[in-house]
Amino acid sequence: MHIILGGTGHVGSAAAATLLRHGEAVTVVTRDAGKAAHLVEQGAEVAEVDVRDVEALRKVLKRGRRAFLLNPPADPSTDTDTRERETVAAITAALEGSGLEKVVAESAYGAQPGEGIGDLSVLYGLEQKLAAQALPASIIRAAYYMSNWDGALETARRDGVVNSFFPADFQLPMVAPRDLGEAAARLLLEPVGQTGIHYVEGPRRYSCADVARAFAEALGRDVRLVSTPRERWVEAYRQLGFSEAAAKAYARMTAATLDEPEEPERPERGKISLENYIAALVGKQSALAM
């Protein structure tokens, strides 16, 4: 049995679906079992659990042999760094006494020690906590999720605008969630002794201008990129509903991504291009609107 945290999210559901296609037994962990109906139809079991409940999560983990660990993002209206560190602590505490033989954990490009730099430091902390345990672990350092652009569809369709915190020509490693889920499934199926850090990104790197062009092609209309200058990042995040602490953390994370990009020598390459991802996103939303 494979236990999948974040089993109804973009990456977790892709990992679960891939394992189910391979005939593997899967339990998806979610706070809302109703969102897992499509996976239940494919043969998954569901555990409705808050991952911050250590005892309840440990009880679920005891059902399995291997687990995919994904630290859920905190509500941006809160102090996200503090909340996400608390969740990391709960998840890693639940591993103790779970009887698992191996875990695969989702991290991020640029994960590094520090304070107030959002997921980069939170996920580095997850990596370090796993390294301190005897449980074998494989780490996926994921490139920038293509799904982070999902929210741009509304303004692209309505106003012909895609907003970005990065300059138009900045080449950013991006990856489709499905490629990450398939990588996670593959690592879960590897022998216990095969561990280490795995960098996963898409077929090639893309600029934010490429994102605007992909939306323009998929929507059949002109779409331009509007880049927010660095001095307005915190203000812009606040306007999106972020708390002051979260806005500052995300601004620092954005700066670290821009100024200190991680350049792995041989990243694993996913198959889904940015153009295909956005075309599918537009098609899906159009179908839902009908």
Find the domain containing 142 and state its range.
2-146+174-202+262-272
Q: Which helix (H) or strand (E) holds 141?
A: strand 137-142
**What's the CA angle centered on 94, arms 90 and 96, to 5 degrees?**
130
Is residue 166 in some structural domain? Answer: no
For residue 229, how far is the Cα from the chain centroid?
A: 25
Instruction: Tell me the average pLDDT of the chain.
Output: 93
Is residue 282 in some structural domain? Answer: no
pLDDT tens per residue, range 254-278: 999 999 888 898 999 999 999 999 9
Is residue 219 in some structural domain? Answer: no
**What's the CA angle centered on 96, arms 95 and 97, to 5 degrees?**
110
The position carrying tokens 């490693």 is 173
Is residue 197 in some structural domain? Answer: yes
Question: Looking at residue 37, what is its pLDDT?
Answer: 87
Is residue 281 in some structural domain? Answer: no
Q: Which of 219, 179, 215, 222 is nearest to 199 (CA)?
A: 179
Is residue 189 in some structural domain? Answer: yes
Is residue 217 in some structural domain? Answer: no
Give the total number of structural domains in the chain: 1
Which CATH number goes with the domain that contains 96?
3.40.50.720
Tallying the residues shown for the chain, one arrives at: 290
For residue 90, how far is the Cα from the chain centroid?
A: 19
Is residue 114 in some structural domain? Answer: yes
Question: Looking at residue 34, what is its pLDDT?
Answer: 84
Q: Which structure tokens are listed for 5?
A: 């945290």
Dmax over CA atoms of the chain, in Å, equals: 56
Sign of the CA dihedral running 61, 179, 146, 217 = negative
Classify 274 as helix, strand or coil.
helix
Q: Which structure tokens are listed for 192?
A: 């216990």
CA dihedral (255, 260, 266, 271) in degrees, to 10, reads: 10
Question: Looking at residue 32, what is its pLDDT?
Answer: 86
pLDDT tens per residue, range 157-216: 999 999 999 999 999 999 999 999 999 999 999 999 889 999 999 999 999 999 999 999
List per-block mean pLDDT (blocks of 10 residues) for the chain, which spans 290 residues.
91 94 94 87 91 94 95 93 95 94 96 89 95 94 96 94 95 96 96 93 95 96 95 95 95 93 91 96 67
